[in-house]
Chain A
Amino acid sequence: MNKKRRLTDSLVNIWMRGGLYILLSIPVFIGIGLYWKAAPLLNEHSLTELIFSSKWFPMRGEFGFLPFIFSSVYVTLLAFILSAPLCLFAAIYLTQFGKMRLLNFMLPVIDILAGIPSVVYGVWGILVIVPLVSDKIAPFFGTISSGYSLLAGGIVLAVMCIPYMLNMLIEVFNTIPVGMKEASLSLGATHWEMVKHVIIRKGFPGIISAFGLGIAKAFGETIAVLMVVGNTLNITLSPFKAGYPLPALIANNYGEMMSIPDYDSALMFAALLLFVVILIINLFFRYFIHKTEKI
Chain B
Amino acid sequence: MKQMTFTYQPTLSAESVTMQNEIAMAEEIKDTSIISIKNLNVKTRDGAILKNINLEIPKNKIVVLLGPSGCGKTTLLKSLNRLTDLHKELKVSGQIIIDGQDIMKAGQNLSAMRQRMGLLSQRPFPLPASIYKNVAYGLKLKGIRSKKLIAHSVETNLKRVGLWNEVKDRLKSPATSLSIGQQQRLCLARGLAVKPTIILADEPTSALDPISTKIIENLFKELKQHYTIIMVTHVLRQALRLADHVVFMYYGEIIEQGHPDEILKNPKTTILKKYLIDGN
Interface residues of A (CB under 8 A from B): 99-100, 177-190, 193, 197-198, 201-202, 204, 294-295
Contact = CB atoms under 8 A, between A and B. Distances in A.
Contacts of B190: 183, 187
Instruction: Pick from A100, A182, A184, A202 the residue with the most CB of B within 10 Å.
Output: A182
Contacts of B127: 180, 183-184, 197-198, 201
B125 A187 contact: no
Interface string B128-155: 1100000001100110000000000000
26 contacts: A99-B88, A100-B89, A180-B125, A181-B86, A182-B83, A182-B121, A183-B121, A183-B125, A183-B127, A183-B187, A184-B127, A184-B137, A186-B81, A186-B83, A186-B117, A187-B194, A188-B111, A188-B114, A188-B138, A188-B142, A189-B111, A189-B141, A190-B111, A197-B137, A201-B127, A295-B174
Contacts of B78: 182
Nearest to A100: B88
A186 B118 contact: yes
B112 interface: yes
Majority DSSP secondary structure for residues of A touching B: helix
B260 interface: no
B123 interface: yes
A180 B115 CA distance: 16
Contacts of A99: 88
B119 A183 contact: yes
Nearest to A186: B119
A187 B114 contact: yes
B252 interface: no
B117 A185 contact: no
B67 interface: no
Given A183-B125, A186-B119, A186-B200, 14 more contacts: A100-B89, A182-B78, A182-B121, A183-B119, A183-B187, A183-B190, A186-B117, A187-B114, A187-B115, A188-B138, A188-B194, A189-B141, A204-B128, A295-B129
B72 interface: no
B58 interface: no
A50 B118 CA distance: 63
B181 interface: no
Nearest to B187: A183
Interface string B145-173: 00000000000000000000000000000
Contacts of B110: 185, 190
- Return the 9 tightest CB-CB contacts between A and B, nearest first: A186-B119, A188-B115, A187-B138, A179-B125, A202-B128, A188-B111, A201-B128, A183-B125, A180-B125
